[in-house]
Chain A
Amino acid sequence: MPVDVWLYFILSIMIIGSIACLEIKNILSSIITIGIVGLGLSIAFLFLGAPDLALVQFVFEILCMIILIRAFSKRSLKITALKRDIPETVIAIVILVSIFVLSIFAFKDLPSFGQPIVRVAEKYLTQAGVETGAQNIVTSVILNYRIYDTLGELTVLFTAILGALTVLRKIGRKKRNA
């Protein structure tokens, strides 16, 4: 089968999974259902010729589910039956559908699927093997041509983890209270 048909199939499953994830009442089921979206995305990356991304997405999905389940499974055992506001939901759906219809005109101008505009990457694809010596061009882009992006990514990740640890720690608060 061509790649398009597989991608239609995977994307439909991802959309159904995301709607189910948002509508299920039980929090634990909801967190597990988002695994459908993430693992489907991992398979879609495999079909799109990005094996590195598929592996990273797989690991990310597992870690994300572990973090969320560990954080929320004990705390939200009492399921609060959150009744929704019907008018707000209707207004939101109407606005989002109109945005979707308007976006069709915007997506018409993009290059069609399978024929991208590859300008910058031609140089990398032809010369990366000689210039950097890496066989995987994604690696040579991350670690050689765009190394400052990777540095910024690590800064953001470090800051986020530092923020999470600062928010969660208990020592400073106890001392101040006592």
Chain B
Amino acid sequence: MTLYLMCFFLFLVGVYGAITKRDLIKIILAIGIMGYSVNLFLVLIAYRSGALAPILKEGISVPMVDPIPQALVLTSIVIELGITALMAALAIRIYEKYDTLDITKIRRLKG
């Protein structure tokens, strides 16, 4: 259970960064940290002690790790890359328009 709690602590560090930082780049990095911790938590739950990676071999019948969370986390990692690129593009446009990345100075959001 301690591993789960450490993983959740990593998630809370990400939440802390996302709600207290004023720099847009820091907020993007904090959302990335939250994504990392969620992926790690899903794979941690799937682990079976003493098990091997889910790859079939001839004549070996040891228990294997649960493959479904691994497949879904693979999906989630790829989606995170797209989301990071989209957030970076939006931040670049905000910097071009307002000349700052400080979220307290971006007031005229109606543009």
Residue ranges of A at the interface with B (Cβ–Cβ < 8 Å): 3-4, 7-8, 11-12, 14-15, 18-19, 21-22, 27, 30-31, 34, 37-38, 41, 44-45, 48-53, 56-57, 60, 63-64, 67-68, 71-72, 75-76, 80, 82, 84, 88-89, 92-93, 96, 99-100, 103-104, 107-108, 110-116, 118, 120-121, 124-125, 128-129, 135-138, 141-142, 146, 149-150, 153, 156-157, 159-161, 163-165, 167-168
Contacts and interface: CB of A to CB of B under 8 A. Distances in A.
B111 interface: no
A124 B67 contact: yes
B93 A37 contact: no
Nearest to A99: B12
A41 B39 contact: yes
13 contacts: A11-B7, A30-B29, A37-B36, A41-B40, A75-B95, A99-B12, A111-B45, A113-B49, A136-B56, A137-B67, A164-B89, A167-B92, A168-B89
Interface residues of B, number: 77
Given A137-B55, A137-B56, A67 B84 contact: yes
A139 to B, nearest CB: 8
A8 B92 contact: no
B96 to A, nearest CB: 9
Interface in B35-94: 36, 39-40, 43-57, 64-68, 70-75, 77-86, 88-93
